[in-house]
Amino acid sequence: MLRAISISIAVGVVPTSALAQFDQLLKGIQKEIQKIAPPPSGASSGTNQRGGLINPERIEQMCREMFIGLEHEVRQDRALIDKNSIASEFKVADLDQLQELFFAEFRRRNISKTFPHADFFVFEFETPLVNTLYQSFLAFPEPEILAFLIQLSKSQDRQFKGDALMALSFLHLQAPKLSVNDRRWRELFDEALRPPIKNYVAYTFAARVSLFGELGAKSSANADRYLIEASRHESEVKNSAQTRESMAHLAGNYAVWDNNNFAVVQQMTMKELMRVEPSIAARYAKQKAQFQSMAGLDLDRLEAQQQAYAKRFPQTRAGKMAREIDKINQETANIGVTLIGATQGGNQALGELKSFESLVRKEQGDRAVYVANPAERDAFIFRLAQKTNALAAGKVDPKATQLFVQAQEKRYQAQALLFTAQMELLNDQSGGGLLAKVEPMKQFQRAFVSSCQLSTKWELAMRSRDIPAIDKNKAVAEVGSRASMYKDD
């Protein structure tokens, strides 16, 4: 899949470690650009804004690589889900109610400085699998995903185990009403911190616990120590993964580091720590100066470039694609509303949707949005469609069939534009290059993951209603012609 590249520089590490991370960053950028090079000219696809090609098969493969299609695996048989494992962590008597219960808990925001919300830690895990499972559960909570996270938390693989323990700990903090006990989050967190497990997000979270003192003893010294440990562990994992990749014939565990991990939480925690501890800030400032001298990188200038790009973004090709994506997603949602409204009980369901959208708007706050990610709204629409039997199995009338097809075509178009926009960001070397585009890249990636999640759900629903498969080539070809019109102002 097209991965958002890890491009955050942690200035709180020792200079040699920071330089090594920067070197890995540059190699990672080159590797990722090679991955998304245009396919052969004979491929059946649309053209992108640079004259390349958009391959629908590649986009579909990217979605499947993210492990969002759990229904395609053996786990689709609910009889195989270990219900006892879910009951050991959360009080959910009826699995059919799990999604509704968790969605209600996910609306809790600004829980604490230490733990603002579960999505604060999206893409903060070491492994691509747990990162995807965690984000997928937040976007569309299902028993299959939760049961699999619980299974991984008992794994013999220490890397998977540590990540899964922390993912579950965060879910307990987000949904305390569903937790089997009010200390369960702490039990899982403590286990992730204990040797022989070493886990990046556990160290980062431990730093936040120590810094703010809301969930444990307050200690700036411990916060500093855990941040250093997180950076050291990150370097060790990356070096190990690089070594194993070049010596794949050797036996042993293969350490991985997900390139979607931007180390955002670590840096935010570090900034908070420096505000309250001048002596630590002075030490980091010295290390930062040494790092900049060795790496040839001015971090203050980079921050200014990031701010400048944020202002310029609406006038860029990627910014214009983001607006087109938002338009397509709204059109798709409108079709879902039409399908729901035509069912018995549809008017009441649409009233629920209106109330929900109002609540989401209030919770949006002042956060900068580069590309809208309507995952929560679209998941809510899908749930309403299930609730009103708009997705009931069996034959469907021609008008509804046409609406199902149109909506799915638009989902594929949005995915293709999200792919193209990410490629645009990767290739745009202006104003600081890719390093100045951390946040938009992250948002485009998250939106792509969510889009894959929902399109898979609707594809299965359409299959159950005997609706023919979508012509993805046709849908993507239209996107290619649209994308070619976008120009920087």
Task: Specify whether 246 is located in the same domain as 307.
Answer: no
Domain count, the chain: 2
- Of 241, 271, 296, the position where a domain reaches its end is 296
pLDDT of residue 204: 97
pLDDT of residue 361: 60
pTM as predicted: 0.74
Q: Are the C-beta atoms of residues 385 and 340 closer than 8 Å to each other? A: yes
Which residues does 50 contact at the CB level (< 8 Å), separation at least 6? 423, 424, 427
Give me 257's structure tokens: 């580091």
Tens digits of residue pLDDT in 89-101: 999 989 888 988 9
> What percent of the chain is modeled with pLDDT above 90?
24
Rounded CA gap, 281 and 189, in Å?
A: 28
Tens digits of residue pLDDT in 273-328: 888 888 887 877 777 666 555 445 565 677 788 888 888 889 988 899 999 999 99
Tens digits of residue pLDDT in 26-62: 444 444 444 444 433 333 344 444 434 566 777 777 7
Please list the residues that pair with 46 across neighbouring strands: 54
Considering only residues 432 and 234, tell me which one the structure prediction assigns the higher pLDDT. Answer: 234
Q: Are the C-beta atoms of residues 18 and 10 closer than 8 Å to each other? A: yes
Task: Specify whether 83 is located in the same domain as 14.
Answer: no
Task: Specify whether 424 is located in the same domain as 364.
Answer: yes
pLDDT of residue 368: 64
- Of 251, 281, 296, the position where a domain reaches its end is 296
Task: Specify whether 277 is located in the same domain as 200.
Answer: yes
Token match 């990217």: residue? 62
Tens digits of residue pLDDT in 331-351: 998 888 888 888 777 777 777
Is 11 a residue whose pLDDT tops 50?
Answer: no
Q: For residue 302, what are the CA distances in angstroms to 22, 92, 274, 436?
A: 14, 47, 19, 6
The range of the structural domain enclosing residue 367 comes to 1-65+298-489
The full length of the chain comes to: 489
Which residues does 40 contact at the CB level (< 8 Å), separation at least 6? none
DSSP 45: -
The whole-chain average pLDDT of the chain stands at 77
Nearest of 343, 357, 333 to residue 387 by alpha carbon: 343
- Of 254, 270, 296, the position where a domain reaches its end is 296
Rounded CA gap, 158 and 334, in Å?
A: 45
